[in-house]
Amino acid sequence: MIDRSFTIFIWLMAGMVLFAFGWLISDVVIQGASKLSWQFLTDEPTRSGREGGIYPIIVSTLLILMIALVVVLPLGLGSAIWLAEFSRKSSRRVRTTRLILDVLAGVPSIVFGLFGYAFFCGFLELGFSILSGGLTLACMMLPILIRTTEAGLSAVPQDWRKAGAALGMSRTTLLWQVLLPYASPAITAGLLLSIGRATAETAALIFTSGYVDRMPESLNDSGRALAVHIYDLSMNVVGGDKASYGSALVLIVMVVIINLSASTLSEFWLEKKVSRLK
């Protein structure tokens, strides 16, 4: 009897979540689909975005994301590998690093925005630019990526490290051939999580990459990200709702595409190397 009611309860909870999610998606799709057209994707916005398309905004978004990824991937994977494999786990330095990362992962994005504004835009004199925005996003993504990657690597059984060492194998070989491939689902999940956070980011970008909706001519130009565009259309532009929904739909599709390609790539490069029976 208890089991039965508990099962019903669990189903109900899961159902509610699915329902909310379904509603959200269908709302965006239904409202945004009418706006969606080839022209919407390839035109410049006119009348503050009420009309025209979002081409420059898509380009800015991708550029910002690209800069963030170029910075985050080597730094994040490198630090995670250092933390998980090459550092003494109990040392004060490592524990402090972990603590700082955990705090940073929970810091509200507006704080990162403020930091980016002061440091990248101001101190480094990059101004409101795609570069500043990308670098600020990188700061935001780093702690998430590092901690998830580290957790993934730490979850790999110690047995294989011992086996590798006992065979006189270098830690680098073991890392590339066994540990990283085995941990790759966790790494990919961390990457997707941080990409998700980055593409959804508005607060930090208003401060750093700005909201100029023209086509950026270089990385030093200001560029408006999709999330900023959606925010602007729905909050500041009367009559911008339709375009806002259209942009939201584009953003969702973009995130799905990025997620799919990231998991496919990681599968292709790393995951297929190992088998995970047992």
Binding-site ranges for another protein (CB under 8 A): 88-90, 157, 159-170, 173, 177-178, 182, 273-278
**What gap in Å lies between CA 73 and CA 77, rounded to an integer?**
6
CB of 80 to another protein, least distance (A): 19
Residues 6+ apart with CB under 8 A from 39: 53
Token look-up 């916005």 returns 45
Q: Which is nearer to another protein, 106 or 168 (CB)?
A: 168
CB of 272 to another protein, least distance (A): 11
Report whether 233 contacts 221 (CB < 8 A).
Answer: no
Q: Which is nearer to another protein, 166 or 235 (CB)?
A: 166
Q: Which is nearer to another protein, 178 or 248 (CB)?
A: 178
Cα 68 to the center of its chain, rounded Å: 9
Q: Which is nearer to another protein, 232 or 271 (CB)?
A: 271
Report whether 134 contacts 71 (CB < 8 A).
Answer: yes
CB of 107 to another protein, least distance (A): 32
Q: Which is nearer to another protein, 71 or 274 (CB)?
A: 274
CB of 265 to another protein, least distance (A): 20
CB of 147 to another protein, least distance (A): 21
- The secondary structure of residue 47, as a DSSP letter, is G
**Interstrand relation of 51-52 and 45-46 (parallel, antiparallel or unpaired):** antiparallel
Here the tokens at position 168 are 């006189």
Q: Which is nearer to another protein, 1 or 166 (CB)?
A: 166
Report whether 83 contacts 150 (CB < 8 A).
Answer: yes
CB of 159 to another protein, least distance (A): 4
Report whether 60 contacts 225 (CB < 8 A).
Answer: yes
